[in-house]
Structure 1
Amino acid sequence: MACGGFVCSKTSLCILNLIYVMVSLLMIGVAAWGKWFGLVSSFRVMAAVIAVGLFLFVVAIMGLYGAVKHHQVLLFFYMLILFVVFIVQFSVSCACLAINKEQQNLLLEIGWNKSESMQEDLERSLDCCDFLEVNYNESCVANCFKDQTCRPCSVIIQAYADDALQFVGGVSLFFSFTEILGVWLAHRYRNQKDHRQNPGAFI
């Protein structure tokens, strides 16, 4: 049978959703592992990653079940959700790839001021204090604070921000195209007949 046939479309859609299931479980596992070993103390960061992982898991299970059962309603909502996710993810990836230095600095400072636990994580892991200017009259968890040799965290973060945004934007752009592939496969699969069933029936 040609690859455009019913079985090939079903198999391709199942494989794509199995990949999404593995990615979602990996996201949840990495977030839980980071929290368990104290690498990330911010509950908001961990909860956000786990929430995205759970959302992807639910969508993947919906697509997988719809593909196995050739369920028209589930496949329709799967296509709809995946298309909305594609639009959001494609927009975010383009923004990450197009952002300039001034916008990076503004976003980094906003993110820095939102969570004290995240500040402590960064100060401890990057061995720096404060964001723009080190204030030795306040406390800091970094090891360099005892010797008063700390650099502002913005200097270190900005050195990696551009590469990180390029990486995140590239990976996000790649996965956004897999999502539009999933929409196309689901749409094609919904309109195909199972040759093993009654040729006059449309399931």
Structure 2
Amino acid sequence: MPDNRQAQPAEESIALTYLNDAEARTVEVIAERIIPDGGDGAGATQAGVVYYIDRALSGVSQNLQHVYRTGLRALAKYCAAQHAAEFADLPVDIQDEVIQRFLGPAVPEEGSTPIMHGDEAGEHGESADLPTLRRLFAVVREHAIEGFFCDPTYGGNRDAVGWKLVGFPGAYWGYTAEQMGRDFDGRSLPIMTLSDLRTQLRAKNLPDNATFYRNEEN
């Protein structure tokens, strides 16, 4: 069955915990080019991926703070030297070109590595810190995917846009044998989050475990 639920844009008033506004804007634009909105309201910006990344950098991914700090400075220096503009202000085709230079093509071939263009390896090589920029884009890509498909509790996947895109119903206590069947459409189930499960737990409104047992006779 088709999924007609519409995603809502991320709230701009939510406070940042680690990134400053300029850094967050750049990270959000990078994430949006990695997971763009295809016109269905399902992109990194709508999913609030930047808020997931910001929270992660204040918590479980504190060890990657230096990757963002040094990487974003290196990116600003590179874009100023090569394009006389901030990354977030570049046309989207140039943004994509910059990302692909350091991250590689959107669909890389097996065993491929990012292409080193002449302006990076040759006479203008001093304008690009290649290892730092490659590391930055690789980490942002990983974080963007995590933030797009995580439980909304962690700041990303706003309005469950990532789950809706792939037809995943979310966090359930379990699934019946029918629901685990190959032809079952997960989009027919209402989306549940960890917050919903916590509400059920507090209300002691839990499903009977027997609901999820397979009938061994069938």
Superposed pair shares fold, TM > 0.5? no
- By relative contact order (CA 8 Å, sep 6+), the higher-ranking structure is 1
TM-score with structure 1 setting the length: 0.27
Query: Greater helix share, 1 or 2?
Result: 1
